[in-house]
Structure 1
């Protein structure tokens, strides 16, 4: 996108736009495999933004029995077919699977852009994204670190956060795709205060009445009183105090090595980690393939799978669709006010 897109949907649709991901990866495969395993009520709400010819060719290889139709055709709302918005013109062959390629990166992002436009103009109420390859999309000219950052920029720089959620654990990270050495410099009292308020506000909007937030320390043992850094004292604790005064149920900072035990998990709804792996390692260890990525702060619902393009198995018909199924169902739950953490 060359300029920010405006969200001007007058009412929230129950329909879900799905971006197809990198065609050289497993995104299209998990979309197609997930379709027969979803309730018919939900199947009728989906439209995939990608290449119609690609999906028809993929269906012939996978033999899912899914009827794939052009979304621009006059299709009855309740007809049980996979609607594909044919927004990408891409010549693709089996030999392209598993390869980092500029054209595949461009095709992936075109699917995202067109799906976002459709959500923002009110045709759809929510967005589900299949995985992109960051190297491929950067080769295609997109200077982004991932979907979360791209969506923030596309919506004019709105404040967003990434929440990984499963039935066992939900985690938000204060910093996303940055080098470990840069994490302390990316943290501030103001930013963390804003993040905690954003999490609280988003969860209430999703239907969680009184969300409880547990905040990790940055340093080992939450610094042990300043022995291993002082970010807990100078940044994290003051931010927690500030939001508690504004009505947010936040506590901490807690040592990360004891925050994810079964006993600790029962005491909060969402963990707030200071950096990517501090939060994503425990949630994926507990619930890999059953975790979804939810972007907080957008004017619409966006949910994604918890895995990448998996180039090592792309085109081999081995991809597991479980996370995509959870992503689509979670999206529907949020739209209907039934999401729980």
Structure 2
């Protein structure tokens, strides 16, 4: 039966008022039959059917326990919308936020039970999530809480530039406070482990400075010399191929030219802006430091175009492709963890 079968990836529906169901259906429609057979969706089959109709696809869907008997239909781990839920298209609602949360929680269960390998998430809306009483800063914090992980890290991965963040969804004031040797070391360790899990023998990691010109010897702040440089020296002593701190106005260009495999950014915008500038449509959000593996699109719910058949699934395709890279790495190193 399907309940004993392992799927390569489990794709969560995201906020059902947004573009998640549409981009999932577009990506599924473009899959080969073998890739589709290894894919499990998490959400409401009725919503997926409506999304398929919206994009002009003849995809159909089967509940997880019926999928093996009906191989022409896409398998779905069912998370139904309550009959009385008010989920208007393209709007923030508690009903949509709760659906998004329950899909994530179900996907975590599927991975932890061995029924799925990697989670791929469609976008959710934080305001809807909070309206439903789920007070998380987004997918990464939610997944950390659901899996009991003490911390997690956000990687933005693209072909020419990848960044891993010391902090993400906090104020700039708090982000500066989080620039500590301990956090920087943990971030580099997580990035190195992840790249090695993808088959990279000796990852080259650059650590960005915090202040302009890395503080110019303390003229513009002392965090670079007081916190970042000691962390880098400790990592070098442990055998990591790490450089820094390197001024943020040059390190991302150098990495994009192939000098480094990964840049550790000190805060959200420092890492997000250069990656999105270079690869807005193909950047993948990857959660590190968790006992499970997860990739995601790197865009929002796009309420303004939701349920109009206009949503572009390029980024979802990239997130799925990266998830398959993780699956391959897991098979090559079944005893590895992240």
What is the TM-score normalised by the length of structure 2?
A: 0.91
The correspondence for 2:267, drawn from 269, 275, 281, is 275
Cα 1:275–1:74, aligned 2, differ >3 Å: closer, same or farther? closer
Tell me the CA shift for residue 325 of structure 1.
Answer: 0.7
Residue 175 (str. 1) matches residue 167 (str. 2)? yes
Question: Is the contact between residue 88 and residue 110 of structure 1 (CA under 8 Å) also seen in structure 2?
Answer: no
Once residues 323 and 230 of structure 2 are traced to their aligned partners in structure 1, the CA distance between those partners, rounded to angstroms, is 34
Deviation per residue, 1:83-140 (Å, 9 max, x gap)? 2222122459998111110110001111110111011111111111111101110111
Q: Which residue of 2 aligns with 1:201?
A: 193
Cα 1:263–1:44, aligned 2, differ >3 Å: closer, same or farther? closer
Once residues 212 and 326 of structure 1 are traced to their aligned partners in structure 2, the CA distance between those partners, rounded to angstroms, is 23
Question: Is the contact between residue 63 and residue 75 of structure 2 (CA under 8 Å) also seen in structure 1?
Answer: yes
Cα 1:63–1:264, aligned 2, differ >3 Å: closer, same or farther? closer
Tell me the CA shift for residue 218 of structure 1.
Answer: 0.6
Q: Which residue of 1 aligns with 2:325?
A: 333
Tell me the CA shift for residue 261 of structure 1.
Answer: 2.0
Once residues 324 and 251 of structure 1 are traced to their aligned partners in structure 2, the CA distance between those partners, rounded to angstroms, is 32
The correspondence for 1:294, drawn from 252, 263, 286, is 286
Over the aligned positions, Cα root-mean-square deviation in angstroms equals: 2.2
Question: Is the contact between residue 51 and residue 90 of structure 1 (CA under 8 Å) also seen in structure 2?
Answer: no
Tell me the CA shift for residue 260 of structure 1.
Answer: 2.2
Residue 212 (str. 1) matches residue 204 (str. 2)? yes
Once residues 318 and 94 of structure 1 are traced to their aligned partners in structure 2, the CA distance between those partners, rounded to angstroms, is 23
- Structure 2 residue matching 1:172: 3-state secondary structure: strand
Q: Which residue of 2 aligns with 1:82?
A: 74
Once residues 123 and 203 of structure 2 are traced to their aligned partners in structure 1, the CA distance between those partners, rounded to angstroms, is 29
Q: Which residue of 2 aligns with 1:190?
A: 182
Cα 1:24–1:188, aligned 2, differ >3 Å: closer, same or farther? same
Residue 315 (str. 1) matches residue 307 (str. 2)? yes
Cα 1:315–1:94, aligned 2, differ >3 Å: closer, same or farther? farther
Equivalent pairs counted in the alignment come to 328
Once residues 234 and 55 of structure 2 are traced to their aligned partners in structure 1, the CA distance between those partners, rounded to angstroms, is 54
Further displaced range: 270-279 or 49-58: 49-58
The correspondence for 1:47, drawn from 40, 48, 56, is 40
Deviation per residue, 1:43-80 (Å, 9 max, x gap)? 11111111111111222222212132222215259x34
Residue 63 (str. 1) matches residue 56 (str. 2)? yes
Once residues 232 and 332 of structure 1 are traced to their aligned partners in structure 2, the CA distance between those partners, rounded to angstroms, is 37
> Which sections of structure 2, spanning at least 5 residues, go unmatched?
333-338
Deviation per residue, 1:168-210 (Å, 9 max, x gap)? 1111011010111221112211111122112112221232211
- Structure 1 residue matching 2:76: 3-state secondary structure: strand
Question: Is the contact between residue 94 and residue 315 of structure 1 (CA under 8 Å) also seen in structure 2?
Answer: no
Q: Which residue of 2 aligns with 1:123?
A: 115
Tell me the CA shift for residue 289 of structure 1.
Answer: 1.3
Q: Which residue of 1 aligns with 2:149?
A: 157
Once residues 74 and 137 of structure 2 are traced to their aligned partners in structure 1, the CA distance between those partners, rounded to angstroms, is 30
Residue 306 (str. 1) matches residue 298 (str. 2)? yes
> Which sections of structure 1, spanning at least 5 residues, go unmatched?
1-11
The correspondence for 2:218, drawn from 226, 229, 244, is 226
Cα 1:206–1:243, aligned 2, differ >3 Å: closer, same or farther? same
What is the TM-score normalised by the length of structure 1?
A: 0.91
Q: Which residue of 2 aligns with 1:15?
A: 8
Once residues 228 and 161 of structure 2 are traced to their aligned partners in structure 1, the CA distance between those partners, rounded to angstroms, is 21
Question: Is the contact between residue 11 and residue 120 of structure 2 (CA under 8 Å) also seen in structure 1?
Answer: yes
Deviation per residue, 1:245-295 (Å, 9 max, x gap)? 111111011111112226763110001100001001110110011110111
Question: Is the contact between residue 206 and residue 337 of structure 1 (CA under 8 Å) also seen in structure 2?
Answer: yes
- Structure 2 residue matching 1:96: 3-state secondary structure: coil
